Structure 1
Amino acid sequence: MGWIGNGVHTGLPLALCLLVNQTCAQAPEPAAGPFYLTLHVAGGTGLVALGGGYRLARQRLEPELLVGYVPRRLSGSKPLAIFTLKTTYLPWSPRLGQSRWQATPVTLGAMINYTTGQQFFLTNNSAGNYRPGYYWWSSAVRLGLLAGTRVNYGGPHQQSTTAYAELSTNDLHLVSRLTNRSLRLVDILTLGGGLKRGF
């Protein structure tokens, strides 16, 4: 009985160590260094936007600054610049087998952007042409939410490349949907995507 008892006592820590080691071996490895550059297309940040950021929280959180451009043919007047602060959260990024590929089935995030131009105003009072309270929103500033998916190729201590796609909406679209039920999801959602390069 003493031999059986000793075997249980020594075998249990050994089994726990093996389980921990196996779990750690299956955990996704860091994709690259914390810095990254972004090329983003559409999605409420301009026709095209460039920027970058720094990964935080064990590379699960990606805050970034983007500078977007809207050409005259799409803006209706003058070319526009859009400045966007954006943060994306990656809850789960499993590695695909033994390869250097990783997938993130769902990403979640939020953003705030500011659009330049004389036709845009921060507040109703700064618009100058309307009575107080006519506009409750700012046409220059938008608050947005987003959800997406991505794939990443790279490995630890190497540069990595990420391709992603996102659906986003903003405060004005959401309020419009609540007050106008004839609007469909496709009317308030915007598709965007891009590439990130880590280093």
Structure 2
Amino acid sequence: MGWRGKSWLLGLLLELLVVGAHAQPARAQTATQAAGPFFLTLHLAGGTGVVALGGGYRLAQQRLEPELLLGYVPRRISGSKPLAIITLKATYLPWTPELGRSSWQASPVTLGAMVNYTTGQQFFLTNNSAGNYRPGYYWWSSAVRLGLLAGTRLSYAGPCRQPTAAYAELSTNDLHLVSALTNHSLRLVDILTLGGGFKQGF
């Protein structure tokens, strides 16, 4: 092979190397951006049951996560019969910085709200539906709770896999907040509930 042929072959190899170097990050970025918006959740405690399973869909550039959870409370904790708790929850991630150039991300603060319904004949939607008390005896529903939450999260999303996240959060509900306003002897540990879990994207 002559000098010109060798020069042409060397130039072709260099060009392929340069194109490949630029194409590799692009493929990795595409794979990361192609992560599906759906996720499954395993949640522990936090007012949703001893354990709860569910899932949801990421919105608003994957910063808002509405989800539906089905929780379970065993008989030995409920005191009577096993309970099922249905929870509609939404979590917002205002800031999710990457940890250096790795595939790890941290959400220092997450905020959210939830509403849940506890099944069982001993729980009532309204005071009137309870049937055992005079009108106005209970202002609150024992079956439905409205809650607020704040937490933190650590996520991993490799270039070829869906994101996996571990999180912890503190939550409270309407009944606890009203009780704290009327009973000043209550402490934060009396009105806050610790929960956490894992989320797997797909």
Task: Tell me, yes or no, whether TM beats 0.5.
Answer: yes
Alignment partner of 1:183 is 2:152: no
Q: Secondary structure at the match of 1:138?
A: coil
Q: What is the TM-score when the length of structure 2 is the normalising length?
A: 0.83
Q: Secondary structure at the match of 1:183?
A: coil
Q: Is the 8 A contact 1:32 1:155 kept in 2?
A: no
2:170 to 160, 163, 167: 167
Q: Is the 8 A contact 1:151 1:164 kept in 2?
A: yes
- Per-residue displacement from partner, 1:54-83 (whole Å, max 9, x unpaired)? 000000000000000000000000000000
Residue in structure 1 matched with residue 157 of structure 2 by the alignment: 154
Q: Cα RMSD over matched residues?
A: 1.2
Contiguous gaps of at least 5 residues in structure 1: 1-28
Residue in structure 1 matched with residue 53 of structure 2 by the alignment: 50
Q: Work out the CA distance in 1 between the residues paired with 2:133 and 2:176.
A: 22
Count of aligned pairs between the two proteins: 171
Alignment partner of 1:140 is 2:143: yes
Q: Work out the CA distance in 1 between the residues paired with 2:187 and 2:94.
A: 29
Q: What is the TM-score when the length of structure 1 is the normalising length?
A: 0.84
Q: In structure 1, what residue type is equivalent to 2:134?
A: R
Q: Secondary structure at the match of 2:94?
A: coil
Contiguous gaps of at least 5 residues in structure 2: 1-31
Q: Work out the CA distance in 2 between the residues paired with 1:48 and 1:187.
A: 21
Residue in structure 2 matched with residue 18 of structure 1 by the alignment: none
Q: Work out the CA distance in 2 between the residues paired with 1:117 and 1:32.
A: 39
Alignment partner of 1:33 is 2:41: no
Residue in structure 2 matched with residue 86 of structure 1 by the alignment: 89
Q: Per-residue deviation at 1:30?
A: 5.1
Q: Per-residue deviation at 1:158?
A: 2.4
Answer with 1 or 2: which has the greater Rg: 2
Distance 1:30 1:170, change over 3 A: farther
Q: Per-residue deviation at 1:160?
A: 1.4
Distance 1:111 1:30, change over 3 A: farther
